[in-house]
Structure 1
Amino acid sequence: MNMKHVPLLLAVAVLLPGTIQAQDYAVGADISFLAQAEKDGAVFKDNGVPKPGLQILKDHGYNWVRLRLFHTPAQLPNNLEYTIALAKDAKKLGFKFLLDYHYADDWADPGKQPIPKAWHGKSHEELVKAVFEYTRDTIAAFRESGALPDIVQVGNEVINGMLWPDGKLPENWDNFAQLIYAGINGVDAGRGNNLRPKIMIHIDRGADLKRTKEFFDKLNSYDIPYDIIGQSYYPWWHGSLNQLRQNLESMAREYQKDIIVVEAAYNWKPGNYLNKSAPFPESPAGQKEFLDELNRVVTETPNGRGKGVFWWEPAVRGPLTARGFFDDQYNALPVITVFDGFTRH
């Protein structure tokens, strides 16, 4: 053994215990705001050195990016052209790419799943056709641009369904399942001769075992062909790391699927725990400690089923700046170093 590599190997072993291997573990970040921030003049710095945001992430062990796609956004930048360009930049640097379909013109989440304006007035059957064709055509556009996703999320935080009211849950499970099928079939139709991207179903119940089990038990009764369970985990909303651990263990046993915590964040300055006890200080050191402990919980998921963590979102500015990886002067914070020992493949 070449002894100069021993410290690195030990670092990987500590980071990724058990059967998890570096090459199949996603150290990820949702960077959907990054290109807009840099276009608007943000200059991100690492140890005082200005660098592109993607390069900073790569330098610190990140190997996946996540990008959201809106249908026809009026305010936010995340249309097809913007998202393809950012995906291509990431692919050039060797990142793998997770595409997050919102199937909306703006944010889709548990509290709202709005139908794109272009699809207003469509019947259920017409919506199924629209989801299929839109997914097929956009996947084909990514493929033709050399940026085919490696994972595709069919919907964003769909615990309460999608494309309301047609696919709203719990009242319209049959409709919802058909819409999910349409999205998956669209991925297949758009990928050409390439391997099908892995399919993720994403909900926002990282620390809620009961709701997670109810949702996936019902979803699985429709025999939907998906590969990965995605969970959001924001501790001020969702619960403790111990509750997350219990849910990860339950999902790994029950469903035999890979699991990724595909959204997570913690503040580097006070904001979410002003009037209640915080599990970690809302400080640069506390933010780093949170990500380190979150990653530890995910990597300890039974049978190696914990396959990664994505931060939401390193380059966010404005009211949510405190959830990002950079301070008010765009300097990288200590949290950026959590995966410094990670070997990228």
Structure 2
Amino acid sequence: MNEISISRRHLLRAGGLGAGALALGGLGEVGGGQAEAATTFSKGADVSWVPQMEAKGYSWLNSGGVKEDILTILKGYGMSAVRLRTWVNPSSDPANGHCSISETAAMAVRVKDAGMDVNIDYHFGDTWNSVGVQNPPAAWASMTYFEMLSAMYTYVYHTMNVIKANGVTPRWVQIGNEINSGICHPIGSVSNPAQMTGLLNAAHDMVKEVFPSTNVMIHLAQPQNCSSMTTFFDAFAGHGGTWDWNGFSSYGSAAYAAGIVANMAEISNAYSKPFMQVEFGGAVTKATSTEDALQAYLKALVANGGQGLLYWEPEVMTPFDTYDMGAWDSATYEPTAALNGFSAV
């Protein structure tokens, strides 16, 4: 499929402006895209830093002090899924760059060969996008909405085909990372709901074009903030947004886990979507507290019908990066007690 045929086939679906985004059925689209209702609980991690860390000479020991492949160690804790981020035109910076689609695809092959499920996490930027920042890739920054729409179709279609050419079928694809405020600001901001929905529907449609059975996920942060989630879904669903699963980031303590997961369930049940927690972490220096929090989230997820939990970058060690919510001891190269929390489910 070339760029011209993409545009002809999907222009009406992608939104136009204003009410045009409802042209394919408006709210009828909300329940129409579900690819899979999960039957097993998925435990896993985002380990997107692994290729860069290995290139810098890092390796990992298991809890017995024996060097093993990082995926083998994670599987030993019962993990069955790995999330991998990808950026559009990333820099070569070890911590804040890399993660091009070619690097992501190579890592996805390793994950598949390890017998684990793959979650591809689009950031739709050249570096980190999160709940507080949603910058478009530099090459898209001066585009009009319709130019960006065409770029989105082409980018997602191409990158999904790169993954496919490497023999990997993702179980999930996140169309954006912590997108409470939308994507590719200001064009795709939640305050421009028709345009935001058009861009996200373009991404959804190209994932499905290449992988019809893959679950397309919307990923929001801070589920303790119900109003933020409601604002997003009112805008997205109200303008004909189509998606399969919800994913949430939460780094709260054990004391707050039950309430936070209940919020995840409430917003997901309102749209009849399976949901999972796609980011979790806790202070590496407080491994016992982090283990308790992990157990609390896992138990709350199971109790509320959640379908999984992914730990964010547990393998990180200093001095590769100063991120202090991993689960590896930088002195011993062994995992901390935090990962023992996975035994709760």
- TM-score for the superposition, normalised by structure 1: 0.82
Q: Which residue of structure 1 lines up, in the alignment, with residue 183 of structure 2?
A: 162
Q: Which residue of structure 2 lines up, in the alignment, with residue 317 of structure 1?
A: 317
Residues 204-238 of structure 1, C-alpha deviations (whole Å, 9 max, x = no match): 122122222232233211232211111111227xx
Is 1:286 the counterpart of 2:289? The answer is yes
- Distance in 2 (CA, whole Å) between partners of 1:206 and 1:29 is 19
Residues 63-95 of structure 1, C-alpha deviations (whole Å, 9 max, x = no match): 000000000111212111111111000100110
Is 1:178 the counterpart of 2:180? The answer is no
**Amino acid aligned to 2:197:** A
* Residues 218 and 121 of structure 1, relative CA distance in 2, 3 Å threshold: closer
- Distance in 2 (CA, whole Å) between partners of 1:206 and 1:156 is 14
Whether contact under 8 Å (1:161, 1:168) holds in the other structure is: yes
- Distance in 2 (CA, whole Å) between partners of 1:307 and 1:320 is 31
Q: Which residue of structure 2 lines up, in the alignment, with residue 18 of structure 1?
A: none
**Amino acid aligned to 1:28:** G
Q: Which residue of structure 2 lines up, in the alignment, with residue 220 of structure 1?
A: 237
Structure 1: where are the runs of 5+ without partners?
A: 1-20, 270-282
Out of 106, 113, 120, the residue aligned to residue 141 of structure 2 is 120
Whether contact under 8 Å (2:181, 2:232) holds in the other structure is: no
**Amino acid aligned to 2:68:** K
SS of corresponding position for 1:338: helix
Residues 215-271 of structure 1, C-alpha deviations (whole Å, 9 max, x = no match): 2233211232211111111227xx9324303303422432221111111111121xx
- Distance in 2 (CA, whole Å) between partners of 1:45 and 1:23 is 32
Q: Which residue of structure 2 lines up, in the alignment, with residue 326 of structure 1?
A: 328
Is 1:299 the counterpart of 2:302? The answer is yes
Question: Deviation above 4 Å: which 4+ runs of structure 1?
Answer: none
Identical pairs, percent:
27
Whether contact under 8 Å (2:46, 2:311) holds in the other structure is: yes
Out of 99, 106, 119, the residue aligned to residue 98 of structure 1 is 119
Pairwise mapping of residues 105-144 of structure 1 onto structure 2 (< 5 A)?
A: 105-144=126-165
Residues 152-211 of structure 1, C-alpha deviations (whole Å, 9 max, x = no match): 1111111111111111122x11110000011011112333xxx43101001112212222
Whether contact under 8 Å (2:77, 2:340) holds in the other structure is: yes
Whether contact under 8 Å (2:120, 2:174) holds in the other structure is: yes
**Amino acid aligned to 1:155:** G
Whether contact under 8 Å (1:208, 1:243) holds in the other structure is: no
**Amino acid aligned to 2:328:** F
- Distance in 1 (CA, whole Å) between partners of 2:159 and 2:268 is 32
Whether contact under 8 Å (1:321, 1:327) holds in the other structure is: no
Whether contact under 8 Å (2:258, 2:296) holds in the other structure is: no
Whether contact under 8 Å (2:102, 2:162) holds in the other structure is: no
**Range with greater deviation from structure 2 (241-250 or 103-112):** 241-250
SS of corresponding position for 1:323: coil
Whether contact under 8 Å (2:134, 2:184) holds in the other structure is: yes
- Distance in 2 (CA, whole Å) between partners of 1:219 and 1:149 is 24
Residue 112 (structure 1) shift? 1.6
Is 1:42 the counterpart of 2:63? The answer is no
- Distance in 2 (CA, whole Å) between partners of 1:102 and 1:310 is 17
Q: Which residue of structure 1 lines up, in the alignment, with residue 105 of structure 2?
A: 84
* Residues 23 and 252 of structure 1, relative CA distance in 2, 3 Å threshold: closer
- Distance in 1 (CA, whole Å) between partners of 2:187 and 2:235 is 18
- TM-score for the superposition, normalised by structure 2: 0.82
Q: Which residue of structure 1 lines up, in the alignment, with residue 23 of structure 2?
A: none
Residue 25 (structure 1) shift? 1.3
- Distance in 2 (CA, whole Å) between partners of 1:249 and 1:150 is 21
Residue 341 (structure 1) shift? 7.6
Aligned length: 300
Pairwise mapping of residues 3-22 of structure 1 onto structure 2 (< 5 A)?
A: none
**Range with greater deviation from structure 2 (116-125 or 209-218):** 209-218
- Distance in 1 (CA, whole Å) between partners of 2:265 and 2:130 is 25
- Distance in 2 (CA, whole Å) between partners of 1:312 and 1:320 is 14
Q: Which residue of structure 1 lines up, in the alignment, with residue 29 of structure 2?
A: none
- Distance in 2 (CA, whole Å) between partners of 1:146 and 1:52 is 21
- Distance in 2 (CA, whole Å) between partners of 1:49 and 1:22 is 34
Is 1:245 the counterpart of 2:247? The answer is no
